[in-house]
Amino acid sequence: MRLALPGVAAALVLAGMAFAASSKRPVTFSAPERAAILAQGPWPAPQRPDPSNRYSGNADAIALGRRLFFDTRLSIEGRRSCATCHDPAKSFTDGKTRSFGRALLDRNAIALANLRLNRWFGWAGAADSLWAQSIHPIVDEKELGLTAEQVRERLASEPAFAAAYQHLFRSAVTDDDAERVLVNIAKALAAFQETIVTARTPFDDFRDAVERDDAQAMARYSRAAQRGLQIFVGKGNCSVCHFGPNFTSGEFEDAGVPHFAEKGRVDPGRYGGIAALLASPFNLLGPYNDDPAKAAGIPTRHVEQLHRNWGEFRVPSLRNVARTAPYMHNGSLATLKDVVRHYSELDEERLHGHTGARLIRPLRLTTQEAADLVAFLETLSANSGGK
Amino acid sequence: MALLAVTASAFAPLASACPTVEQGFRRLASPDAEVAYRWEPAELKIGQFFTAEVVTCGTREQEPVREITIDATMPAHGHGMNYRPTATRTAPGHYRFTGLMLHMPGTWRVTIDVHQGGKRTRLTHEVILRP
């Protein structure tokens, strides 16, 4: 044993020297890699008002929506608000594995940001608009737990809310039927949430420097992050699902995360989401869509429920990702390191057999590659490192 | 993998003459069937809904088209679209499929199945989408 130790030590030293040398080597990107990097921006992305919500972008609606978002009267016991699970101090998440409303919920509180860029809302895409999604927690018995009638009563009993409602919606809250009131306040809540946009990040500065061919500015981005970016758009296949300025396809994938909500009960994921979407009176094919052209309803008109939707969840945006732990639909991965390890050592048996996504395969990253990928992901948050 | 069949029209009247490249159409042909097709918008983008206009024409044009279907799959990913297109016949031999959407970058295989003259013929076209 003693005789072997110096040999081992020498090997470790050599490995360390090799790592040090490779970590200092400039990263060069091929033309396809460069194109893929540019496609992850620019940021901020242009955002238009939501045509299905006539109050989208309306200053009064934003103000009312902001007040409602933080007001605990919008919950049955008067103790919770939207902000309980979507806390601005925690990047509009609650930092918990799975949220707890009036009971333990099945899923992690998804971060609220850049929502105008979404096609679907919630982990399962059960809503096709932000305002329809905003209705769900208000009336869900496990979350805020109100009925539409109780929402109307609470607004009517608070003079400031009643006045703001009448000013914005041009009718007294007591004159509108309860479902209309629910939709109206959801549209105000949506108008507020649309204003939550993440700031530029070190990655955005690097991406723009690549576009300008500005070597000096590119050099400010760490080598580790550059190597991680190279994995992200290359070997890792990450950008196949997390592409575009918002780092998401906006669609649904089975990422091999166990989907049992509890012993013996499966979270149906996208399969259940489509069923809920099509059954909802608030979807974009219904009477509450303000867009006369109904163009925003095209995805809902054509979406199809397939067997493979079991176990699929929405591909989340990676913007601000370092600030929105824990990860995956059930919050089962605590850190970005855990997420990278998950994809590196993916259990293919967890995927849905032959219907599973073939692009999702164990990455078998080296320790350095995994660290580099984490370093890159950390640069997708504002004021993060990477410089 | 689910095959999303979209029936445009059973027992449709005869096929018609092929539209031209100048009209924005491209052709897919086999010994048993031929179609001309174009997308709207003409340039396909990831995540953007588009319409396919398909015209049955060519060598078998005198035989009735009993059924025509369109689908798209991503072979590398092992599955297809998340959306079911809607088909309408706009004129004899002319079909319009709305609600197609390719949601990921990569190579997609668009298939047009023509059931004509007692045969079902598959015509395929590859679309490469880059982010």
d(CA A315, CA A243): 10
Q: Which of A38, A374, A369 is nearest to A218 (CA)?
A: A38
Q: Are strands A252-253 and B119-129 parallel, antiparallel or unpaired?
A: unpaired
- Contact assignment for B105 to A252 by CB distance below 8 Å: no
| φ, ψ dihedrals at B79, nearest 5° | -150, 180
Q: Provide the domain count of chain A.
A: 3
Asked if B118 reaches chain A (Cβ–Cβ under 8 Å), the answer is no
C-alpha distance from B103 to closest chain A C-alpha (Å): 7
B103 assigned to some structural domain: yes
Angle in degrees, CA B98, B104, B105, rounded to 5: 115
Q: Provide the domain count of chain B.
A: 1
One-character DSSP codes across B73-112: EETTTTEE-SB--EEEEEETTEEEEEEE---SSEEEEEEE
Q: How many CB atoms lie within 10 A of CB A339?
A: 22
Domain with A68, as residue range(s), is 59-193
- Contact assignment for A302 to B86 by CB distance below 8 Å: yes
Domain with B46, as residue range(s), is 21-129
Same domain, A275 and A358: no
- Contact assignment for B82 to A301 by CB distance below 8 Å: no
Same domain, A214 and A361: yes
Same domain, A147 and A71: yes
C-alpha distance from A300 to closest chain B C-alpha (Å): 9
d(CA A260, CA B110): 35
- The amino acid sitting at A172 is A
Dump pLDDT digits (tens) for A212-233.
999 999 999 999 999 999 999 9
DSSP bridge pairs for B91: B94
Q: Which of A269, A288, A309 is the last residue of a domain?
A: A309
Same domain, A183 and A278: no
Rounded to two decimals, the ipTM of the complex is 0.87
Asked if A308 reaches chain B (Cβ–Cβ under 8 Å), the answer is yes
- Residue A359's pLDDT band, with cuts at 50, 70 and 90, is confident
What is chain A's mean pLDDT, rounded? 91
Same domain, A223 and A366: yes
Dump pLDDT digits (tens) for A271-284.
999 999 999 999 99
Residue of B nearest to A296 (CA): B49
Asked if A256 reaches chain B (Cβ–Cβ under 8 Å), the answer is no
Strand order through the sheet with B33-40: B26-30, B33-40, B50-56, B94-100, B86-91
CATH number of the domain residue B95 falls in: 2.60.40.1930
- Contact assignment for B78 to A354 by CB distance below 8 Å: yes
Dump pLDDT digits (tens) for A46-58.
999 999 999 999 9
Look at residue A261 in the predicted model and tell me its pLDDT. 86
- Contact assignment for A302 to B47 by CB distance below 8 Å: no
Dump pLDDT digits (tens) for A114-143.
999 999 999 999 999 999 999 999 999 999
Q: Once rounded to an integer, what is the mean pLDDT over residues A8-31?
A: 62
Asked if A355 reaches chain B (Cβ–Cβ under 8 Å), the answer is yes
Same domain, A350 and A372: yes
Asked if A251 reaches chain B (Cβ–Cβ under 8 Å), the answer is yes
- Residue B106's pLDDT band, with cuts at 50, 70 and 90, is very high
Same domain, A187 and A336: no
Asked if A156 reaches chain B (Cβ–Cβ under 8 Å), the answer is no
A385 assigned to some structural domain: no
Look at residue B117 in the predicted model and tell me its pLDDT. 77
Same domain, A239 and A362: yes
Look at residue A20 in the predicted model and tell me its pLDDT. 55
Kindly list the distances between the CA atom of residue A281 and the CA atoms of A70, A150, A153, A287, in Å, as whole numbers in the listed order: 26, 19, 22, 8
- Contact assignment for A243 to B131 by CB distance below 8 Å: yes
Asked if B1 reaches chain A (Cβ–Cβ under 8 Å), the answer is yes
Higher pLDDT, residue A36 or A387: A36
- Contact assignment for A249 to B103 by CB distance below 8 Å: yes
Same domain, A305 and A328: no
Q: Once rounded to an integer, what is the mean pLDDT over residues B117-122?
A: 88
Q: Which of A112, A94, A90 is nearest to A104 (CA)?
A: A94
- Contact assignment for B47 to A250 by CB distance below 8 Å: yes
Same domain, A321 and A298: no
Contacts of A6 (CB under 8 A, 6+ apart): none
- Residue B10's pLDDT band, with cuts at 50, 70 and 90, is very low
B12 assigned to some structural domain: no
